[in-house]
Amino acid sequence: MNKKNLLEFKRFIKKYWKMLIISGSILAVTFSLFTFFIVNKSSSSKDEIEEVSQSDYFENDSMPAYFQFYLERLDGTVFSNAATVERFLNTESMYQQTLKNTGIDLMEVKEIVSAEEGNEDYVPIDIRTDDASYIYTAIIETGNDKDNLKIANFFYEYIFS
């Protein structure tokens, strides 16, 4: 750097030092807050699973079973459509496979809950996604702890085999 540029740089710093410090501070605080909120973004955990459970439908204190998984396309990009995964796992054919492999009739559970509660939105297998990592959480709730675990194990094996 030649002498003329160095003098020009010093003069610029002397003239705008307050603005540079204020701008740098604002930028640092903004970046810190942004980083804080991204890092501390909520992700699926056991407590959150309990909160989002559909236990309003069941009078007993059954605990939902859950497992987590990650999906990607053949080209390696993230598959981020939780609604499609949920619809697939809650199809009649998947209910029939569950009945065949576990002896638990999810269609019957769905019909009973829908009839008793008058809520057509109930699904025995709920899918949640962590928006930061795209990790899916499959939450199974039928009103029976043992059945929840059987179904969770069946779907886990189905997805990972």
- Banded pLDDT at 47 (limits 50, 70, 90): low
Average pLDDT, the chain: 83
Name 140's Cβ contacts closer than 8 Å, sequence gap at least 6.
Answer: 64, 65, 66, 124, 125, 126, 148, 151, 152, 155
Output the pTM of the full model.
Answer: 0.63
CA 65, CA 153: separation in Å to the nearest integer?
Answer: 9
Q: Look at residue 36 and tell me whether its pLDDT is greater than 60.
A: yes
CA 55, CA 10: separation in Å to the nearest integer?
Answer: 67
What is the separation, in whole angstroms, between the first and last Cα of the chain? 64
The whole-number pLDDT of residue 152 equals 92
Q: What is the pLDDT of residues 90-147, one digit of tens each?
A: 999 999 999 999 999 999 888 888 887 776 778 888 898 888 888 999 999 888 888 8
Please give the C-alpha separations between residue 119 and each of 31, 46, 78, 110, 123, in angstroms, as whole numbers. Answer: 45, 26, 33, 10, 10
Q: Please report, for the chain, the start and end positions of each structural domain, with discontinuous segments joined by +.
A: 1-40, 46-160
